[in-house]
């Protein structure tokens, strides 16, 4: 592989203009049990275009209009391990710039991302919303990934105790079932969550990539605060049924992978190939036979971005924000420049006419390929077992 291809695979050609002149603090990888020193606040020197001032409602829960996904802060898509102190710095700087919603999961690491978030957010824990997720079958003592899913009520309660310790908190603001367990009635899952809510250990709950009837059954027992699904210009699947259901029931929507795992920022080109272990290499939408076709989306974003003085990534997030007032994207990153850029999406606005024109041009582009590998996609849209 030549140097230019290596850079494309690592995503190093992304937003070079915005990176220029921004010096990121370096640091060595710290042990898990560490004391976190809060770095100097960036707030005093922050440009308003990199701040998130808007607030949105997920059900009754108020959050910043753009959140931060911390999934890759223990291991990137390219399989590298980021500097722990720099990840702390990005989280803390995001807070300084108005971000109040931070997304994690026990499966990320496993466990390690929750620890990183807990360490970084300790100084301002009471001023933010932490959301995390349970549901994969993970040994709670060793962190070993076991086959399938596990949403048994007794297991959920053990998982939450571990989450509270790792996140250095006494409650989880928004707890999601990461994927619906087809072997456990959702009524039993919600019952366990209700017990945790009564104990003050969980404040709100949601579902990620759920089946529609499972959402209705859950909501009938205790209001669902949010659904978290993949949603972006690259994958618009929720528009058919999930978003209308959220509208009907008053449920918020959190968009994961709102930048199409980097694709919509212009980080990839027709020659991009992925490192072993990078999940994007197993997604057929990024296969060599599909990439050239799908890059029409990026060209559309670049053209509109030039008109609106915005980057493709900012335009992608602004489009999501324009869809519904209760949609909140959670772009993930391990780069300070990218986090600050993502925040700037809030300042990008579409007029009604612009949105209509953009939608008309978007409709001419047909994305080819699946959004996830089959072994992962099989867990989306699943319905829970019937309650006997």
Asked whether the beta carbons of 362 and 338 are under 8 A apart, the reply is no
- 63 HSE (CA, 13 A, CB side): 30
Evaluate whether 262 touches 268 at the Cβ level (below 8 Å): yes
Phi (first) and psi of residue 137, to 5 degrees: -85, 95
Which pair of tokens denotes residue 76? 């990137």
Q: Which of 108, 176, 205, 231 is the catalytic position?
A: 108
Query: Six-digit token pair at 258?
Result: 């709102």
- HEC string of 216-285? HHHHHHCCCCEEEEECCCCCCHHHCCHHHHHHHHCCEEEEECCCCCCHHHCCCCCCCCCCCCCHHHHCHH
Q: Which of 321, 320, 301, 319 is nearest to 311 (CA)?
A: 301
- What is the tally of helices (H) and strands (E) in the chain? 13, 12
Alpha helices per DSSP H over 309-351: 312-323, 336-343
Element (DSSP H or E) covering residue 388: none
Closest among 350, 366, 264, 345 to 307, alpha carbons compared: 350
Active site residue 108: yes
Q: Residue 55's beta-bridge partner residues?
A: 64
Three-point CA angle 322, 323, 327, nearest 5° = 95
Active-site residue numbers?
Answer: 108
């Amino acid at each position: 592989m030549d140097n230019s291809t290596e850079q494309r695979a690592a995503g190093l050609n992304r937003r070079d203009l915005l990176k220029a002149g921004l010096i990121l603090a370096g640091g060595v990888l710290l042990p898990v049990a560490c004391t976190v020193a809060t770095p100097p606040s960036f707030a005093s020197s922050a440009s308003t275009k990199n701040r998130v001032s808007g607030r949105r409602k997920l059900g009754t829960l108020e959050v910043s209009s753009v959140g931060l996904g911390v999934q890759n802060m223990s291991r990137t898509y390219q399989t590298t391990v980021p500097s722990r102190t720099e990840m702390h710095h990005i989280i803390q700087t995001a807070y300084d710039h108005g971000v109040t919603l931070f997304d994690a999961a026990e499966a990320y690491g496993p466990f390690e991302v929750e620890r990183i978030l807990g360490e970084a957010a300790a100084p301002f824990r009471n001023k933010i919303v932490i959301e995390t997720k349970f549901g994969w079958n993970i040994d709670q003592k060793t962190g070993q990934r076991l086959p399938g899913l596990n949403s048994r009520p007794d297991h959920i309660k053990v998982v939450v105790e571990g989450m509270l310790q790792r996140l250095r908190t006494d409650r989880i603001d928004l707890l999601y079932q990461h994927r619906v367990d087809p072997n456990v009635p959702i009524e039993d899952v919600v019952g366990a969550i209700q017990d945790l809510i009564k104990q003050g250990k969980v404040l709100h709950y949601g579902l990620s990539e759920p089946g529609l009837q499972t959402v209705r059954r859950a909501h009938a027992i205790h209001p669902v605060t949010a659904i978290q699904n993949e949603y972006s210009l690259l994958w618009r699947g929720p528009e058919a049924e999930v978003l209308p259901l959220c509208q009907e029931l008053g449920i918020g929507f959190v968009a994961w992978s709102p930048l199409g795992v980097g694709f919509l920022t212009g980080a990839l080109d027709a020659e991009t190939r992925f490192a072993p272990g990078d999940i994007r290499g197993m997604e057929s939408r990024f296969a060599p036979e599909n990439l050239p076709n799908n890059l029409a989306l990026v060209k559309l974003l670049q053209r509109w971005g030039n008109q609106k003085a915005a980057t493709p990534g900012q335009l992608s997030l602004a489009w999501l924000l324009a869809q519904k007032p209760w949609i909140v994207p959670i772009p993930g990153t391990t780069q300070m420049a990218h986090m600050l850029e993502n925040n700037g999406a809030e300042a990008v606005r579409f007029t009604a006419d612009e949105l209509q024109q953009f939608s008309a041009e978007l409709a001419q582009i047909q994305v080819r390929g699946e959004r996830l590998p089959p072994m992962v996609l099989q867990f989306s849209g699943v319905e829970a077992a019937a309650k006997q």
